[in-house]
A and B are shown apart, each in its own frame.
Chain A
Amino acid sequence: MDKDFAARRRRDLIIAAVLAVIAALTPLFVKDVVVQNILILTLMYAGLSQSWNILSGYCGQISLGHALYFGLGAYTTELLFTKFGVLPWFGMLAGGVVSALIAMGLGYPFFRLRGHYFVIATIVIAEIGLLLFHNWEWAGAAMGITIPIRGDSWLKFQFLRTKLPYFYFALALCCLAWFVTWWLENSKWGFWWRAVKDNPDAAESLGVDVFNSKMGAAAVSAFLVAVGGSFYAQFVSYIDPESVMGFQFSLLMALPAVLGGIGTLWGPVLGAAILIPLTELTRFKFGGSGRGVDLIVYGTLIVLISLALPRGLLSLFSRPKKTGAAR
């Protein structure tokens, strides 16, 4: 490993630690509930997008169906909690494991597909999940599940009077997703993924286990997204199929990574830090009219950013690479 790379990785870790500490201190100064809410959502989407980025960015398997894992995480946690009284902390783990297993089960046939066929298959499978939950009486069908209020407690991960615990959990999730990405970037898998993304056939011929490396990426990615889903369910304390498994979540997970820089370590965090406050603010400012002005503003921004910076916002900061630029 060359020295530059090692130095860069150490620098990334230090920057991340500093940012995390700064983020952890913000609630001391920010008391406004609306702003805290936006911060929580930003951290959550940063974490989700970071997880999405593992499969779609690093490994190059563009998934627009991650809402499935988000919803599975939310539903597993809440079904276990409301029906069997299992604490959300265990539900969260269970949701992650269920999602990772399902991701691998789906990966078995899915990873044979390429290009548009793969992307459409991911959208379709999430849509099937959505429709099934819509019709599943035991799981509340279209009515969803209202999480019973049992008072503030860390044990049940439920807080009514303050949003701070949610904030710190979202921060922890974001840090975890970042750290997993950072760690995997330099592992055997990280190198395999990039090889698979660039040219799967060449990778295969050089002895990369293409299929299993895709499976690994899918499992890690789905697990983390499901934990995010569990968190979201506890945070909003009411879930229905549309609100945790809808197509918009698949896009909201992908957008920050794409805007910030897909397949990069910092892209999702940067993208989320800009996109989510923007989304919430436009909704806050223009959404009340009910006349779609927030949609117009938001959509225009997406078009402009993706046209102007196809490599994402991060490309503004990085100098052109010595290699790789040769085309």
Chain B
Amino acid sequence: MGLLYGLIAVGLALIFGLMDVTNFAHGEFLMIAMYLSFFLFAFFAIDPLLSAPLVAAALFIFGAVVYLLIVRFAMRAKANAGMVQIFTTFGLAIVMRGLAQFFFTPDYRSIPQSWLGGKTISVAGIFLPEPQLVGALVSILAFAGLYFFIHRTDFGRALEATREDPGAVALVGIDKNRVFAFGWGLGAALVGLAGAIMASFFYIYPDVGASFALIAYVTVALGGFGSVFGAFAGGIIVGLVEATTALVLPPSLKSVGIYAVYLLVVFIRPRGLFGSI
């Protein structure tokens, strides 16, 4: 489960953590991805696992468009930049939820039959549910890929440089908007991946994103802004803490453990575990 949170958080780590843009609509990105996956299954009988790349591609475009149409202008705000980002993306989240309700109705949906759903696999005598296992694998791959991408490619350097000093970056001929639009696309594609995998074992409804979004923010902040590895570590910690809390407290309180650990970590180290900002 922790790696699954990691998977949701990795896209956010890119947008929120590396580009330092608040995205309060991240949960709604996840929701859209889950619906896409659902409809691809319902109409074309494509298994969520197969449709994952398609969903990711669609979300890439969506993320880039959202950046170019909305977020770009929010970042340009001269005053209260932080609040403007919070409330534009929050407004966007409300609109997306409304649209989902309008077009998809508030009904709960699920994908009844998929390659992964409900199956378990036995590894050395321990039974593991397959969807979570695949989620974990994809999550590790996604993190490794992103880590490589940020630290080893020109684009990754351009991204970090753009966050550090957009003015200087413009001087050396990097188009800030192109870099950030690509970053948003990538972040959205990653959450698209997460959504496609989760669609096979989670109920899908317009508000589904909200329940995961806060944990994703906490995961990123726990690991520390500006660090891909931090978000990965944060995901694992969050998963472990949740599982442990569920053992000692009633299930409805399992998130309390996560939140308490976040508070504890930032009180001791105010920039998260591996944060650089």
Contact = CB atoms under 8 A, between A and B. Distances in A.
Contact of B253 (A123, A125, A135, A307): A135
Interface stretch (B30-38, B52-60, B165-173, B259-267): B259-267
Given A131-B255, A291-B101, A300-B95, A307 B88 contact: yes
B87 A294 contact: no
Contact of B80 (A114, A294, A297, A310): A310
Instruction: Decide if the interface of chain B is mainly helix, strand, loop or mixed.
Output: helix
B123 interface: no
Contacts of A311: 79-80
Contact of B271 (A64, A117, A123, A292): A117
B98 A294 contact: yes
A307 B98 contact: no
B99 interface: yes
B270 A298 contact: no
Interface in B183-228: 206, 214, 217-218, 221, 225
11 contacts: A116-B22, A135-B250, A290-B106, A292-B98, A293-B102, A298-B94, A299-B93, A299-B94, A307-B74, A307-B88, A327-B78
Nearest to B82: A62
Interface string A109-132: 100111111011101110110011
B218 A120 contact: yes
Identify which of B78, B79, B84, B91 gathers the most chain A CB atoms within 10 Å of its CB: B91
Given A120-B262, A300-B91, A293 B252 contact: no
B128 interface: no
Nearest to A291: B102
A293 B98 contact: yes
Contacts of A112: 267, 270
B91 A306 contact: yes
Given A131-B256, A134-B252, A251-B90, A121 B263 contact: yes
B243 interface: no
Interface string A223-267: 000000000000000000000000000010011001000100000
B109 to A, nearest CB: 16
Nearest to A56: B83
Nearest to B73: A307
A245 to B, nearest CB: 14
Closest 9 CB pairs of A and B: A292-B101, A295-B98, A299-B94, A302-B91, A299-B95, A292-B98, A310-B77, A296-B98, A303-B91
Given A296-B98, A300-B91, A109 B267 contact: yes
Interface in B114-173: none
Contacts of B272: 117
A301 interface: yes
Interface size for chain B: under 10, 10 to 19, 20 to 34, or 35 or more residues? 35 or more
B88 A116 contact: no
B92 interface: yes
A115 B218 CA distance: 14
A262 B259 contact: no
Contacts of B271: 117
Contacts of B88: 302-303, 306-307
B91 A299 contact: yes
A292 B262 contact: no
B99 A296 contact: yes
A116 B78 contact: no
B100 interface: yes
B126 to A, nearest CB: 30
Contacts of A62: 82-83
Nearest to A263: B80
A128 B259 contact: yes
Nearest to A109: B267
B266 A299 contact: no
B65 to A, nearest CB: 14
B207 to A, nearest CB: 10
Nearest to A302: B91
Given A302-B88, A310-B78, 11 more contacts: A119-B86, A127-B214, A291-B101, A293-B98, A298-B94, A300-B91, A300-B95, A301-B91, A307-B73, A310-B79, A311-B80
A327 B78 CA distance: 10
Contacts of B206: 292
B105 interface: yes
Given A113-B266, A258-B83, A131 B253 contact: yes
A116 B79 contact: no
Contacts of A292: 97-102, 106, 206
Contacts of B263: 109, 121, 124-125
B83 A262 contact: yes
Given A117-B270, A296-B99, A303 B78 contact: no
Q: Which of A127, A128, A292 has the most CB of B within 10 A?
A: A292
Most buried by B among A109, A299, A300, A311: A299
